[in-house]
Each structure stands twice: as C-alpha cells, then as structure tokens.
Structure 1
C-alpha cells in the first residue's frame, strides 16, 4: 500500500509507520538537517491522540449508558441520550478514518473510567455504586450501535 493510500485509509496506522520510517532513516545517519526523532515523536503522537480520543469517547458512552440504565431520575435522560449519540458518532468517525484503532480499544479501562464518571453523577440520585457491575456489561458492538439502549432498571424510557 502506498503512503498516500495508507494516509487516506488508516490515519493511525500511517502515523505509526511514518514514525518507524523516520527512526530508521535517523539510524542510517543521513547528513540532513532534520530532527528525525522529534519528527517521529510528533507524528506518532498524532495517532496516539486519536487513540486516546476513541477510548475517551467510549468511556463517555459507557458513563451515560450506565446512567440511563441505573438512574431513577427522569429529567436528565434526554441529555444522556444526546451525549451517547454524539460520542458514538465521534468514535465511529475516528474508526472509519483509522480502522486499525479498533484493535487499540481498551474496553476494561474505558469501562472503569466510564463507571467512575457515572458513580459521580449517580450519587446525586442516591444510587449506590455497588449496584453498578464491576465489569463492563455491554459489548463493544452495543456501545457503538446507534439503535441500542439499555433497559432502565426503574422502568423509565
């Protein structure tokens, strides 16, 4: 695959490959006035930022899915649904730009963070954090499915 095609089809993978190639070029000790190592780090970091954004978006989806499922409150539900839709779209857009990021999703860490965020918000509704599962009750497919929503434990829509 050409570098241009890789850039267009999988940005994350392209950043990692370009960083590797810059480091290989630096090791060859070419006499050119380029700061290869820092260039490689910067390009590599662009891909890492995308990876972090995907995992962060998944954490936010999980946070609001948990709130939708476990909260007895009826008022903020529309905002939680909107947040889920926005973060799902953002994650799906990033995965479309960089399909290799799919393999970089850290669901256990994303769940732990999303659960922690949900605990903070659900405390206002007097929801005991012990009712939230210790491990992610949702599959990645459910988390990213525009049409999937968990049933509320209190019978709310």
Structure 2
C-alpha cells in the first residue's frame, strides 16, 4: 500500500505512519504533499474556529444590548463569557490569530446583525439595530466588557 492510498483510505493509520517516519528523519519515505496539505488545513481550522466564535459573541452582545426582554439576560451574559473563553483559548494556543482577528471581525458583524434581526423578528420584537458595529474588537474579546444597557 502506498502512502497516498493509505492517506485516502485510513487517515489515522497514515498519520501514525508519517509520525513514525518523521521522528527518525526518514524524509524520502514521507508523504510530503499530503503532510503539507494537512498542516495548511490545521492552520485554516484554527482561523475558522475564531471566525465562528466572533459572530456568536456579537450576536449575544446584541441580544443583551438591544433585546426588550429582560429574563434571559443572565443566560446571554453567561454565553458571552463562555464564547469569549473559547476565543481566548484559541488565541492563546495560536497567537498569530490576533493578526487575522480584524478581518474576521469585519465579516462577523454582518453575520451577527442578520442573525439578530431574524431572532428579534421571530419574537415579534421591533428592534432597530445599528448599521455599523457598536463594539470594538477589543471590547468583544474583553472578558470584563458588557454593554451599558445590560447594567441598567
């Protein structure tokens, strides 16, 4: 069985085989092309993880800040804390994500705004959301930041 066939048919076995070849430096036998692809994919996965967390944090902030409902605010705040912890854990493990955060944040705002509009509409709440994000990236990731309206 060649390295390529093993990669395509049994990924776990392929990873173990490649690790066993890597440690003693048996470069010629290694499946370099697939290894390079996997390393690139690992980097993309870290970026995608942060990309999925930012809209969720923003959505919860919008709910907390703009929702006329009072009851679920504690749950939204708890969710913000949990999502921020997950985002910070990603950044701690992969510090270069900070360089991608502004780009991801810009995309996240539009996603969050659309999701919030739909959420409020489902609950028949007439809420007018701002066109531009009312929060800075630093606020969104700051574990101590909550909108002023949440403290009223």
TM-score (norm 1): 0.71
After TM superposition, list the pairs within 5 Å mapping 1:8-157 onto structure 2. 32-105=28-101, 106-128=104-126, 131-152=128-149, 157=152
Q: Measure the CA separation in 1 of the matches of 2:56 and 2:146.
A: 14
- Residue 156 of structure 1 deviates from its aligned partner by 6.8
Structure 2 SS opposite 1:74: coil
Aligned 8 A contact 1:60 1:87 in 2: yes
Q: Measure the CA separation in 1 of the matches of 2:55 and 2:135.
A: 12
Structure 2 SS opposite 1:137: coil
* Residue 156 to residue 139, structure 1, CA distance change in 2 (3 Å): closer
Structure 2 unpaired stretches of 5+ = 1-26
Q: Measure the CA separation in 2 of the matches of 1:92 and 1:33.
A: 38
Q: Measure the CA separation in 1 of the matches of 2:64 and 2:76.
A: 7
Structure 1 unpaired stretches of 5+ = 1-30
| Deviating more after overlay: 112-121 vs 50-59 | 112-121
Q: Measure the CA separation in 2 of the matches of 1:138 and 1:65.
A: 9
Structure 2 SS opposite 1:32: helix
- Residue 148 of structure 1 deviates from its aligned partner by 0.9
Aligned Cα root-mean-square deviation (Å): 1.9
Aligned 8 A contact 1:72 1:125 in 2: no
Runs (4 or more) in structure 1 with deviation over 3 Å come to none
TM-score (norm 2): 0.73
Aligned 8 A contact 1:57 1:87 in 2: yes
